[in-house]
Structure 1
Amino acid sequence: MATLQKIRNRGVFIGIIIGGALLAFIAGDALKSGGSLLTNSRNEMAEIAGESVNIRDFQNRFNHNLEVTKMMGGQNSIPSDQMDKIREQVWQQMVQEIVMNREYDELGISISSDELFDMVQGRNIDPTIRQIFQNENGLVDKDQVRATLKQLMAAPDGTPQKAYWLNIEESLIAQRTLTKYNTLIAKGLYMPSAMIKEMATKGSKKVDFNYIVKSYNLIPDSTITVTESEIREYYNDNKELFKQGESRKIDYVPFSIEPSTDDFKYTEKWIADQKEDFAKESNNVQFVELNGDTDFNAYYFKKDEMSNKEVNDFAFAAAKGDVFGPYDENDAYKLAKIADVKMMADSVKARHILIRPLNGDFKAAEAKADSLKQLINKGAKFAEVAKANSEDQGSAVNGGDLGWFTQGRMVPEFNDAAFSSKKNEIKIVTTQFGAHLIQVVNLSKPVKKVQIAVLDRKVEASTKTTQGVYARARTFAGNNIERAAFLKAITAENLSRRTANLKKDTKLIPGLENSRDLVRAAYNTDEMESVLLTHDNSAVFEFGNKFVVAILSNIKEEGYASIQDQVSAIKRAVRKEKKAEQIIAAMNKNSASAQSLLSVAQKENLEVKNAADVSFQSFQIPGAGIEPKVISTAALLEKGKISSAIEGNQGVYMLVVTNETSDEVTDMTVEAFKSRLEQGYQYRANYQAFQALKENANVVDKRYKFY
């Protein structure tokens, strides 16, 4: 059973494999039948390529993957953000299965049992299997593989190791099927040798050039007129630019739950009532921990170190046990008691020896530290013992020396031991890092320091206050159910109107805690004339310290944005085109008889700039940014010739090539270039092939109804 445990121990590695499989095109027949998917529309969470996906099927798969994740990580629970990731992975997996299985069936792509056998224990063992079963020599014992598989198959369903193995097999099938499909696409790609050689030649050429640029911003927008017909024409000619995903917009009013005057008075009275008991209490730490909102701080303050001047003046004028307050600070009422007064060094110089616990055994670490202490007490030099035994390599090389440090720089246990030690005294203290031998070798001059026990109570909204805010939100919603009244009342009551643009998968609206329910409400209705309702049919949502009343204000369907929604963007684009026309006309006129780029620059009142080592393959121009038209012109322009004006992204350019160099283009160079191109095209082809199939599958995502 050693290999079974090895599979269990390789949970992280296998998790990566299976995690990748969730995002790959998994070939399986669980979703092919469609029988369990075709249920009533109430439980339909998606429609993919005409197949209905039932929420129960999705949830069952999610639960399975969740349990596998727990088993692999040895976890009893999974954080909510990780659960969201698993849920998203399951969704992607289901989409890819349905979409790709149809394609696999049509193309006749499958994995036979013989192929799976070959990957697991045949002549072509998959790297995943090798990782699990290889011995110390890096070899795979096939007999061991067969014996282990026999044990796994005989194990009851639900056995962790068996579940791991079935997931591994599933991922192997997915990867091999995907490989076959991608290979099929790769065989259909062809790049002519002449084209590759030409591109390699162009890429080998590098040029230096001087250029001028006249920014579009130099022409005021107010001087450019854009007509309605020009807006319509630009929209029709560039419609693909205005593709949009589905989104929804809401207007909402937040009613913040904030403490009232009575809440402040109540909290102040509560803290005042504790003053007598606090003054009598001998165990300050326990009293603060049991009654206060903030843990006891053991720090010792020197004069003028505290941020609160009143508390600072009190601490260094009163006696131990005296109590100051109540006083308010940071939305809390507090009492400050002088817990202790000491003459203490402001800083110490110390050295230490760290013994880290092996397998969490702190007792053994402490025992070793104690034996080293006895060794030092018998005459061994601390520095030599530290060099030989300390596991803090940063200080061990210096004999454990930590240098000078002030109070609060080290973890609390270490800090307290160091600042309570006498010079050359050796102490053993345990921290989260292990057992330490600490020796303070020098101390600064002692100064008066005080330890303050602070009992605090934060001012929070009472139940009465919360109910009052809720009643206000409910009254607002009840009186303003319809859109017109809702918007009018916001102005009349001087309320804060907020907006949020939402997508189906929006998890959080900024400023509203755990606000997914409001997103779901916005997508569960197409009604824009009345306020949104919670799943309990209430018009008031609660998110953290806010009640919210909201209304759906806009619905944008997936497709092309309307011309009305894009007027501002279109106007900017048309203005830019008109500015470019004006600048190009002026530049071409000024360059007609010019002998140099400098003369054009002087007429245009522009600065001549330069760029070096630019090739046809360059992504941007240093100092100018992403300007593909300028780059392509420079790469092909004859040396010494002034170019015509070029319409760029930031402005209109004119340039002249001052120098050009070309690397030798050999057969090896062309082959290397071809290899890079093929890799790039292959990656794009694989990705774009699936995206095209997915788009053709008309995926209708209704997850927002359930999550």
Structure 2
Amino acid sequence: MSFLRERAGAIIVVAIGLAIVAFLLGDAIRSSSGFIADANSEIGVIDGHKVSYQNFNERVEQNSQQFRAQMGNLNSQMQSYIVENTWNQMTSSIILENQTAKLGLSVGNKELFNLLFEEPSPQMQQIFADPQTGQFNRTNAISSRKSAETEPTGQLKQQWIALEESIEKDRANQKYLSLIRNGIYANSLDAKDEYTNKNKLVNFDYVVLDYSSINNADVKPTDADYKEYYDQNKYRFKSNTDTRTFEYVAFDASPSKQDTADAKTKIEKIAEGLKATDNDSLYVSINADTKTPISYQKKGTLEPALDSVMFNVSKGYVFGPYLSDGAYKVAKLVDTRISPDSVKARHILINPATEGGMGQAKAKADSIKNLIQKGASFATLASEFGTDGSKDSGGDLGTFARGSMVPQFEEAVFNGHPGQLLTVETQYGVHVIEIQKQVGSSKVVKVAIVDKQIAPSSQTEQLAYQKAQSFIASVKNQKQFEETAQKQGVNKLVAEDVTPLQGGVPGLDDARNVVRWAFKADKGDVSDEIFNVGNKYVVAVLTEVKPKGTLSLENVKKSIEPAVINLVKARMLKEKADKALNGATNIAQVAQKLNVTVNPVENIVFANPIIPGYSQENKVIGSIFGSQPNKVSKAIDGERGVYVYAVKGFTNPAAFTGASVAKSKESLSQSLSSQAEGAVFEVLKEKAKIKDNRAKFY
């Protein structure tokens, strides 16, 4: 106690100090954690604008939904394309938005109103197109805008805010691009050059020593040769993104003959059960690998093997087993009937999520149905209670054929009769439907299909995996990888210059896991895991790392080898041609010394530098148009070989005056203007600082 009394002051000071330090450290740790969390959720930075993963992914999902609506399921390549396309859209939008802000370009209230309702933008025209005429429906657009101010949930208001912002931004961008385009023009000299290049003709004779006349094996390029070619063509080696090259071996676990036989035995037993069952829907849901709803289908919509059979047999007929899309299938004709070809209908969709569940949504739909039956306006109720895009057109869905709607909805409207009012539940909610009209009639069939995919057995997969395990256990570096592949007789494949977000590589349709590994590994690393890609087990080794920017000679040495060999061949052939030129006064003498044929060419224009039947030779044709007639040229190295030529004469075009000048200037200006938008964006993109972290998330 005496010790504590004597040192109480010091103890209190230390305690308070520790508390303050702890408080400050805690605050710093929390701030740091928030900063790290923000950084980890950042998909990238575009021209100073941070892009969050959540915001970017929402746009990816929106674009994916549009693609699915048009193309069905998306594979890895399609998904990679969508991610890339979304990134490009966002990059373009942000960069142009920054540029318009710098210039003070804006859209006033009157101008925006005009774009919304008077001279509608393409977005407005698409959203508020009349289903019957395809023309912009101004009344519906204004009505929807007014409804947005009074809607209880505020969802419509938010949609309008987003739409107006999008139209406003697009208009400002168009103003910016118009300024660029208006600053591009062609003067009389430009027009004259263009006219001359397209219309001045030249006739000439030439001889060529083809590079193929020297075997590649006889050419040994030196380091100096590689450096010479690299220095002359450095502009060609600029890469806009990091790339990786890796080699890999794949051990196939595709279904064996025994797996195929087993699948056929299973489907044969299933076929007997399908013949006997009285509950086709239940039997399909229990036994089919692909759970497809049984619905009526018209001629031409079944797969060909069934389409030619099911419209000509009796109810209860079972077809198969047959092989289709990697599966054995058996099909049973459940029913046939005569049905309308198309239906005109309208509906009111009630969303269970906003009503407190499916029960409440069903009750509300029944109430709306009763009101309509008592004389209430369907269109008015659709506008008031509908929750999809059709609400603004009175619930009108237009006229549609089979296959356009989800099965439950389709069955109801095609099996009902005109004037009928009914309620139907689908995955979207509860629909109050009025069948307005049914058009045409044709035979439709209801077919139950049971499939069994031909899949590898566990024994097949285990055997392939064991081979992959044996391989990966034997390799620690690139040299061992190559030696082991050769020793085991395993085919080694190459994925060259793979980009960070690439979905597939040669031989592997969905290789995202392998690509992600490649961008984390160092050159020479062997994968520390076996990748499961489809029916293959993959082991890879990273052989090349190419950073963004101008690639080094080492990075491109392998790819430029053919061009460097031609460079050395050109040197050898030019030496041979120079000897033939010594003392020669015409092209025939040069040809005789070289033991080659003189080739005559007529009516070549500068704008199309192709030697007919041989090659595009920009350098050679350019030299020809700068030469004097009746003189033998020096030896010139081209794309396919070394050339010597003699110009026979030029034919000048008609005088370039008056209307020709004006027309050519206009044509050239339009051509330059059409290229402006893409060119401007590429320049702005190159100058903007862009940090791309997408490979961490996709």
1:551: how far off? Answer: 3.7
Alignment gaps of 5+ in structure 1: 1-35, 301-330, 335-353, 362-432, 437-454, 533-538
476-485 vs 632-641, which moves further:
476-485
Q: d(CA) in 2 for partners of 1:151 and 1:260? A: 62
1:220: how far off? Answer: 3.9
1:98: how far off? Answer: 2.8
Corresponding position of 2:87: 91
Q: d(CA) in 2 for partners of 1:78 and 1:461? A: 23
Task: Find out whether 1:62 has 2:60 as its counterpart.
Answer: yes
Aligned partner of 1:518 among 511, 514, 520: 514
1:259: how far off? Answer: 5.7
Taking a change above 3 Å as real, the CA distance of residues 568 and 250 of structure 1, as seen in their structure-2 partners, is closer
Corresponding position of 2:428: none
Aligned Cα RMSD in Å? 5.4
Taking a change above 3 Å as real, the CA distance of residues 214 and 543 of structure 1, as seen in their structure-2 partners, is same
Counterpart mapping for 1:64-463 below 5 A? 64=62, 69=66, 79=74, 85-121=81-117, 126=121, 129=124, 146-155=142-151, 169-189=164-184, 191-221=186-216, 224=219, 226-244=221-239, 245-257=241-253, 357-359=341-343, 435=442, 461-463=456-458
Q: Which amino acid aligns with 1:176?
A: R
What SS does structure 2 have at the residue aligned with 1:662? Answer: coil
1:678: how far off? Answer: 2.0
Normalised TM-score (structure 2): 0.61
Q: Which amino acid aligns with 2:341?
A: P
Corresponding position of 1:687: 678
Contact 1:207 1:635 in 2 (8 A): yes
Taking a change above 3 Å as real, the CA distance of residues 76 and 498 of structure 1, as seen in their structure-2 partners, is closer
Q: d(CA) in 1 for partners of 2:35 and 2:149? A: 29
Q: d(CA) in 1 for partners of 2:134 and 2:488? A: 76
Taking a change above 3 Å as real, the CA distance of residues 683 and 156 of structure 1, as seen in their structure-2 partners, is farther
Corresponding position of 2:43: 45
1:228: how far off? Answer: 2.6
Q: d(CA) in 2 for partners of 1:597 and 1:479? A: 64
Contact 2:205 2:600 in 1 (8 A): yes
- For these two proteins, the number of residue pairs brought into alignment is 532
Corresponding position of 2:614: 624
What SS does structure 1 have at the residue aligned with 2:588? Answer: helix
Taking a change above 3 Å as real, the CA distance of residues 108 and 605 of structure 1, as seen in their structure-2 partners, is same
Corresponding position of 1:563: 553
Contact 1:480 1:489 in 2 (8 A): yes
Aligned partner of 1:508 among 501, 504, 508: 504
What's the CA shift string for 1:185-224, capped at 9, x where partnerless?
2344454433433443443322333333221222344555
Taking a change above 3 Å as real, the CA distance of residues 590 and 515 of structure 1, as seen in their structure-2 partners, is closer
Task: Find out whether 1:675 has 2:670 as its counterpart.
Answer: no
Q: Which amino acid aligns with 1:706?
A: F
Contact 1:251 1:497 in 2 (8 A): yes
Q: Which amino acid aligns with 1:681?
A: L
Contact 2:523 2:543 in 1 (8 A): no
What's the CA shift string for 1:64-99, capped at 9, x where partnerless?
5556x49xx989986457665543332222222332
Corresponding position of 2:654: 663
592-601 vs 180-189, which moves further:
592-601
1:489: how far off? Answer: 4.9
Q: d(CA) in 1 for partners of 2:182 and 2:267? A: 79
1:618: how far off? Answer: 1.9
Taking a change above 3 Å as real, the CA distance of residues 54 and 481 of structure 1, as seen in their structure-2 partners, is farther
Contact 1:634 1:657 in 2 (8 A): no
What SS does structure 1 have at the residue aligned with 2:615? Answer: coil
644-653 vs 163-172, which moves further:
163-172
1:565: how far off? Answer: 3.9
What SS does structure 1 have at the residue aligned with 2:554? Answer: coil
603-612 vs 126-135, which moves further:
126-135
Q: d(CA) in 2 for partners of 1:600 and 1:663? A: 35
1:648: how far off? Answer: 2.0
What SS does structure 1 have at the residue aligned with 2:206? Answer: strand
1:593: how far off? Answer: 5.7
Aligned partner of 2:605 among 597, 609, 615: 615
1:702: how far off? Answer: 2.0
Contact 2:197 2:605 in 1 (8 A): yes
Q: d(CA) in 2 for partners of 1:211 and 1:621? A: 10
Task: Find out whether 1:580 has 2:576 as its counterpart.
Answer: no
Q: Which amino acid aligns with 1:689?
A: V
Q: d(CA) in 1 for partners of 2:265 and 2:117? A: 77
Taking a change above 3 Å as real, the CA distance of residues 672 and 585 of structure 1, as seen in their structure-2 partners, is farther
Q: d(CA) in 1 for partners of 2:681 and 2:233? A: 26
Contact 1:528 1:551 in 2 (8 A): yes
Q: d(CA) in 1 for partners of 2:469 and 2:113? A: 66
What's the CA shift string for 1:544-598, capped at 9, x where partnerless?
2222233434322122333234345555444434443454455455456656433
Task: Find out whether 1:498 has 2:493 as its counterpart.
Answer: yes
What SS does structure 2 have at the residue aligned with 1:606? Answer: coil
- Tell me the percent identity: 28
Alignment gaps of 5+ in structure 2: 1-33, 290-302, 310-325, 330-337, 346-439, 444-449
Taking a change above 3 Å as real, the CA distance of residues 540 and 139 of structure 1, as seen in their structure-2 partners, is closer
Contact 2:523 2:545 in 1 (8 A): no
Corresponding position of 2:295: none
Corresponding position of 2:532: 542
Q: d(CA) in 2 for partners of 1:484 and 1:202? A: 55
Corresponding position of 1:701: 692
579-588 vs 548-557, which moves further:
579-588
Q: Which amino acid aligns with 1:703?
A: R
What SS does structure 1 have at the residue aligned with 2:639? Answer: coil
Q: d(CA) in 2 for partners of 1:271 and 1:61? A: 43
1:492: how far off? Answer: 5.4
1:333: how far off? Answer: 12
Contact 1:214 1:652 in 2 (8 A): yes
1:507: how far off? Answer: 0.9
Q: Which amino acid aligns with 1:226?
A: P
Contact 2:187 2:665 in 1 (8 A): no
Taking a change above 3 Å as real, the CA distance of residues 694 and 662 of structure 1, as seen in their structure-2 partners, is same
Q: Which amino acid aligns with 1:105?
A: A
What SS does structure 2 have at the residue aligned with 1:249? Answer: strand
Q: d(CA) in 2 for partners of 1:251 and 1:148? A: 58
Q: d(CA) in 1 for partners of 2:158 and 2:71? A: 17
Contact 1:44 1:53 in 2 (8 A): yes
